[in-house]
Chains A and B, each alone.
Chain A
């Protein structure tokens, strides 16, 4: 769906001590259809620049971007019909009514005149703003304006949504609603390219992620792949149904470096083996007479991994 080929974008940093700023440095990335792809990075990592280049709003200094097989620089209008874009700021025409706002973009995306009315209603109801259909945009809350922004982005039914920090400035309830909406759009077959500072949200939603810093791509892949590639270890938490089994003694007979008995019924240890190794280990514990009632895996969160990458703890 999206292909970035060796994209470089350079700016001059403003100010007296101006320096060359490489917003994206030879970035190559492919995002297949149907993904929810999260782009993670601190402020100034080059996320927004990347998204804007995907949408054809910024021209790369070098390299090419294709969306759905269309070169964005050469044929921007053809590429843009496949894209729904939401910027990282609330920006709407306050002096239009909700339906007028969505209708304007339906026309601007050149939907067939007979389909416009239906698409406008569908987009507005999809984001749950039916009750505000005839209200002025100025009177909407932040969360509603953000949902209206998404209605604008999906009114032409694009296969790709490019969302830059869609959750920023939203209250927890609005964030949950937004996540549900994005999941629903994903189920409908849309590819979603999203950036967010709320990494837990991304970890919950995304099928793949990329981590960027200072214009460079540090990691790309599915969340599991990314976590593993950074050497993130799995931590296994085991709980017994009742006390009585001597976990310390069992540990003497099994080599589990770093294992810790939390209490008489709980054990936690880092595990580097495969899933079948883990199954064998649990079986041996059960055979030794332990009433294992709960086994769960704890892995590093994206947030932990990101802070490790940022601090250079993991290369």
Chain B
């Protein structure tokens, strides 16, 4: 089934591209375009630098189109499934013979259709600006490709949010959408990363660049991947399509499912996604001040990544019940330990990649024969990270198996309150200022992830070790509590299992 015959796409086309809407959009864009041309023509009399004015206008127009397409289209995608759930029409979509992929593609391209049309209306003005600026046609075309592909990635993300958000959280959804757009549009090129912006605003950079080879202090169309110089265009297209693929995969996996049984990714997919993102992050990483600072950066990025993937992996009571019933009410070992094995495997593999890259980048600091090698501390920090992520999600899993309205939200709240309070107390007694006291903090929070280095270690190694042991013990304690939760769930099932 091609896109034009996709019923969902066709439905959006019928609703959004009715003649009256088209006429309004065309007239509005025409008025804006004509006014702009008149103002620019007038200004050229006073300031005869056509190419400068043209470049400014071109950049502005691409920013406007990026905002319209990415944010406008993103909000439309965010509403597409959420509002259908709200109006109780989504069940009718789920029961048709459309496959999950067809339904997802119909919504992905259909929901932002009006925004695509408005952008199309601005194309003549953009061409006028490009001619004025003397821009290369191939770069303007590339800018449109970038605009489309990066918007597509963002739309896939908002569509996924639309699948996952529950009733009553639309405003939160829109705020999250805007926040993500802000992060996505930031140009990360700097001291840490050697890659340009991946968001839709990168289109302006391409359109206004002097040539395909532009690479100067202010504008660069080149990235560095493991030291290799790559053009930003294929890199951007690849990464945005890669992200769109993964977000769309999650949408397709869940769009027609019973909402109680949502599972964003399978465990294998989660690990694969995390590892690929780590690989890209490591590849585009530039050498930073020190090996431990570099590691801190990677671990912070992975904190966000595994934080999101960990949430997606958690089982709710319904899925735990399903597993228990499927196993004929026998307790499941994997269920009692869930999601520890997956998170352990994922974080371990990610840290192997990180450490390998750090050894490559800092041979003099991490080499086995290097005096005062940082490698043991790199390893200990990674270990602290792995244990910390795993115990925290083990706790959240325990909470998610509790009966209540929003047990997971409550779990996240408990964790937040705990960390905020402990950090305040530790900071007030100077735990993070005085090297001798830093090891004390590791008993309560995983300070080893960021603070553990040679000078801090030597003051009190036994306390640092105790911090690690506490994390390991905590893991077992939480697994025990989880098995008790499952046993309770099992007894409830047994109580209602007598057929009437």
Contact = CB atoms under 8 A, between A and B. Distances in A.
A93 B261 CA distance: 27
Given A20-B492, A26-B500, A80-B96, A91 B258 contact: no
A130 interface: no
B258 A57 contact: yes
13 contacts: A12-B317, A16-B405, A18-B404, A52-B91, A59-B261, A62-B325, A62-B326, A93-B11, A93-B15, A95-B15, A96-B14, A108-B98, A110-B98
Interface stretch (B2-10, B237-245, B284-292, B446-454): B2-10
**9 A-B pairs with the lowest CB-CB distances in the bound complex, closest first:** A107-B7, A108-B96, A26-B499, A91-B88, A216-B500, A62-B325, A59-B258, A108-B7, A18-B403
Interface centre among B7, B8, B91, B92 (most CB of A within 10 A): B92
Interface string A87-104: 101011101100010001
A190 B97 CA distance: 19
A61 B10 CA distance: 36
Interface string A49-87: 000100111110110000000000000110011010101
A25 B492 CA distance: 13
A52 B91 CA distance: 9
Contact of B95 (A26, A55, A100): A55
Interface of B: 5, 7-8, 10-11, 14-15, 87-89, 91-99, 256-258, 260-261, 317-318, 321-322, 325-326, 403-405, 492-493, 496-500
B185 to A, nearest CB: 32
A85 B97 contact: no
Contacts of B500: 25-26, 216-217
A224 interface: no
Nearest to A52: B91
Main DSSP-derived SS at the A contact region: mixed
B127 to A, nearest CB: 33
B319 to A, nearest CB: 10
A251 B258 CA distance: 64
A77 B94 contact: no
Contacts of A100: 11, 14
Q: How large is the interface on A (under 10, 10 to 19, 20 to 34, 35 or more residues)?
A: 35 or more
B121 to A, nearest CB: 22
Contacts of B499: 6, 25-26
A8 interface: yes
B321 A87 contact: no
Interface centre among B98, B260, B500 (most CB of A within 10 A): B500
A2 to B, nearest CB: 15
B88 A104 contact: no
Interface in A153-168: 156
Contacts of B496: 8, 10, 20, 22, 25
A273 interface: no
Given A77-B99, A109-B96, 16 more contacts: A6-B499, A16-B405, A20-B496, A26-B498, A57-B94, A58-B258, A83-B95, A87-B92, A93-B15, A93-B89, A104-B7, A104-B10, A105-B96, A107-B10, A108-B96, A152-B92
A172 interface: no
Interface of A: 6, 8, 10-12, 14-16, 18-20, 22, 25-26, 52, 55-59, 61-62, 76-77, 80-81, 83, 85, 87, 89, 91-93, 95-96, 100, 104-105, 107-110, 113, 152, 156, 216-217
Residue from the set A58, A61, A85, A217 with the largest chain B CB neighbour count within 10 Å: A61
B275 to A, nearest CB: 30
Contact of A15 (B87, B92, B94, B405): B405
Contact of B405 (A14, A77, A105): A14
A240 B314 CA distance: 75
B485 to A, nearest CB: 13
A57 B91 CA distance: 7
A287 B152 CA distance: 90
Given A18-B403, A59-B261, A76-B256, A109 B89 contact: no
Nearest to A18: B403
Contacts of A92: 89
Contacts of B325: 8, 61-62
A25 B257 CA distance: 22
A107 B98 CA distance: 9
A61 B404 CA distance: 19
Contacts of A19: 403
Contacts of B403: 12, 18-20
Most buried by B among A57, A87, A96: A57
Contacts of B497: 8, 26
Contact of A108 (B93, B257, B404): B93
Given A57-B258, A108-B8, A87 B91 contact: yes
Given A57-B258, A77-B99, A216-B500, A87 B14 contact: no
A153 to B, nearest CB: 9
A56 B322 CA distance: 16
Contacts of A105: 7, 92, 96
Nearest to B15: A95
Contacts of A217: 500
A109 B92 contact: no
Contacts of B405: 14-16, 18
A80 B103 CA distance: 15
B35 to A, nearest CB: 31
A19 B257 CA distance: 25
B321 A61 contact: yes
A113 B91 CA distance: 24
Given A6-B499, A217-B500, A96 B97 contact: no
Nearest to B495: A20
B89 A104 contact: no
A16 B403 CA distance: 9
A25 B326 CA distance: 16
Contacts of B5: 107, 113
Nearest to B326: A62
A89 B96 contact: no
Nearest to B90: A91
Contacts of B97: 77, 80-81, 108-110, 156
A238 B404 CA distance: 60
B255 to A, nearest CB: 12
A40 B7 CA distance: 36
B277 to A, nearest CB: 31
Contacts of A62: 322, 325-326
Contacts of B260: 58-59
Nearest to B8: A108
Contacts of A14: 405
A14 B325 CA distance: 22
Contacts of A15: 405
A273 B258 CA distance: 51
A85 B92 CA distance: 8
Contact of A91 (B89, B94, B98): B89
Nearest to B102: A108
A85 B91 contact: yes
A105 B11 CA distance: 10
A57 B95 contact: yes
Query: Max chain A CB contacts within 10 Å: which of B5, B93, B95?
Result: B95
A57 B94 CA distance: 7
Contact of B322 (A25, A52, A61, A95): A61
Nearest to A13: B403
A56 B257 CA distance: 9
